[in-house]
Amino acid sequence: MDEQYMKMALDLAARARGRTSPNPMVGSVIVKNGAVVGRGYHKKAGTPHAEIHALKEAGEAARGATIYVTLEPCCHHGRTGPCTEAILSAGIKRAVVAMTDPNPLVAGKGLDILRKAGVEVVSGLLAEEAAKLNEVFIKYVSTGMPFVLLKTAMSLDGKIAAYTGHSRWITGSASRAYVHHLRDSYDAILIGIGTLMADNPSLTARLSCPEDGVKGKDPVRVIVDSLARTPPEAKVLTQISAAPTIIAITAAAPEERVQKLVAAGAQIIIAGNGPKIDLPYLFKSLTAIDITSILIEGGAAVNASVLEQKLADKLLWFIAPKIIGGKEAPGPVGGRGVAAVSEALLLERISVQRFEEDICLEGYLRK
């Protein structure tokens, strides 16, 4: 029964996917005498935590009950008060927690407070599932760097475009719809200037059937553009969107171009002296403004830079059953590449799923 209730709490937590950054997704369920008396999940940073919502719904029924939480209850004052205090005040007698909080401000302290107050604490139930749910938060709070997902789509023969540069559409509508859900759940989307000049993309989250009436959330758009070549009339700058567009340039970018981009509404980050963008510096700068996750949708050059510098955590590789051909047609990863197959980057924790006719391979880069 503990596992059943924890799965319920994990499902609740996932409802806020893409909405809690820079906080984690957390769900909570309160059970008394075999009945669920309270449910809650953290909906947005700065709002009450999952435990508070669940305790409020349970009311007096929380006294003597068991609380299930997907992440260790906080024990410090932030934008909200400590959840440990609320749990103790409500008279909870047993707490089942999926995983400890990697945040150094908590990191086991919350569980210790509950135990010392006489609450029976069980920790580690469905910890792997809880960690996957909050892989973004764990990377961000543990390293100070964003979680990076590199997504690409290619034909069966490994092409991302024809030799002419034409690339719409490699994958089918089901794959593209899934990518818009990804955009909705990530803080930022990043492309290179080559992709922008070739496609003039919108980089918005266009959800065809938003769940529960939730409107799509556009990610912050990040353009890697060392010499500020982005046209001021590009869609990323002229379309109506609540999300800003950040253009990462180097100190070598002509000032006149930079000022035109600022006048068009772009936010500028100077990341390096040139000729290329200092990607680690850029990513660190993005975390400073609470961007905890980045979806890479770049072309061969950006993909190569991200992979060569081992900045990606996870890969999402769509393969369409099409053959494009042509030795001049680009592949998904440029750069020089490795000298021997034995030096190739490896993936682990691999899974495969279908999106109608397309195949999608997901895996984590082996560090």
| Pair 353, 275 in one domain | yes
Q: Specify whether 51 is catalytic.
A: yes
Give the per-residue pLDDT at 98: 97
Q: What is the pLDDT of residues 63-107, one digit of tens each?
A: 999 999 999 998 876 666 789 999 999 999 999 999 999 988 888
Domain stop point among 79, 109, 136: 136
Give the per-residue pLDDT at 206: 83
Q: What is the CATH number of the domain that holds 309?
A: 3.40.430.10
| Pair 127, 48 in one domain | yes
**What's the CA gap between 129 and 70, in Å, rounded?**
9
- Per the prediction, the chain carries an average pLDDT of 93
| Pair 74, 176 in one domain | no
Given pLDDT bands bounded at 50, 70 and 90, which one contains residue 213? low
| Pair 199, 342 in one domain | yes
Angle between helices 83-90 and 109-116 (to 10 degrees): 20
pLDDT > 60? residue 210: no
Domain stop point among 136, 160, 176: 136
- Binding residue numbers for Zn(2+): 49, 74, 83
| Pair 171, 228 in one domain | yes
| Pair 168, 79 in one domain | no
Query: CA–CA distance from 219 to each of 50, 92, 103, 204 (Å)?
Result: 24, 39, 25, 7
- Binding residue numbers for NADP(+): 153, 169, 195, 199, 226, 299-305
Give the per-residue pLDDT at 208: 57
Give the per-residue pLDDT at 73: 93
**What's the CA gap between 57 and 36, in Å, rounded?**
10
Give the per-residue pLDDT at 78: 66
Mean of pLDDT values over 315-320? 97
Of the candidate ranges 12-21, 36-45, 140-149, 214-223, the one whose mean pLDDT is the lowest: 214-223
* Number of separate domains in the chain: 2
Give the per-residue pLDDT at 214: 56
- Binding residue numbers: 49, 74, 83, 153, 167, 169, 183, 195, 199, 203, 206, 226, 297, 299-305
Torsion of CA 89, 93, 96, 99, to 10 degrees: 50
CB 246 within 8 A of CB 266: yes
| Pair 92, 154 in one domain | no
CB 186 within 8 A of CB 295: yes
Q: What is the pLDDT of residues 225-267, one digit of tens each?
A: 999 999 999 999 999 999 999 999 999 999 999 999 999 999 9
- Quick check: helix, strand or coil at residue 317? strand
| Pair 117, 200 in one domain | no
| Pair 113, 228 in one domain | no
Mean of pLDDT values over 139-150? 96
Q: How many CA atoms lie within 13 A of 317 on its CB side?
A: 19
Q: What are phi and psi of 238, to 5 degrees?
A: -105, -20
Q: What is the pLDDT of residues 321-367, one digit of tens each?
A: 999 999 999 999 999 899 999 999 999 999 999 999 999 999 999 98
| Pair 158, 128 in one domain | no
| Pair 202, 53 in one domain | no
Q: How many CA atoms lie within 13 A of 16 on its CB side?
A: 25
Give the per-residue pLDDT at 81: 74
Q: What is the β-pairing status of strands 347-355 and 358-365?
A: antiparallel
Domain stop point among 136, 166, 187: 136
Given pLDDT bands bounded at 50, 70 and 90, which one contains residue 140? very high
**What's the CA gap between 367 and 354, in Å, rounded?**
27
Q: What is the CATH number of the domain that holds 125?
A: 3.40.140.10
| Pair 149, 131 in one domain | no
Considering 3, 51, 211, 233, which one is annotated as catalytic? 51
Range of the domain at 175: 145-365
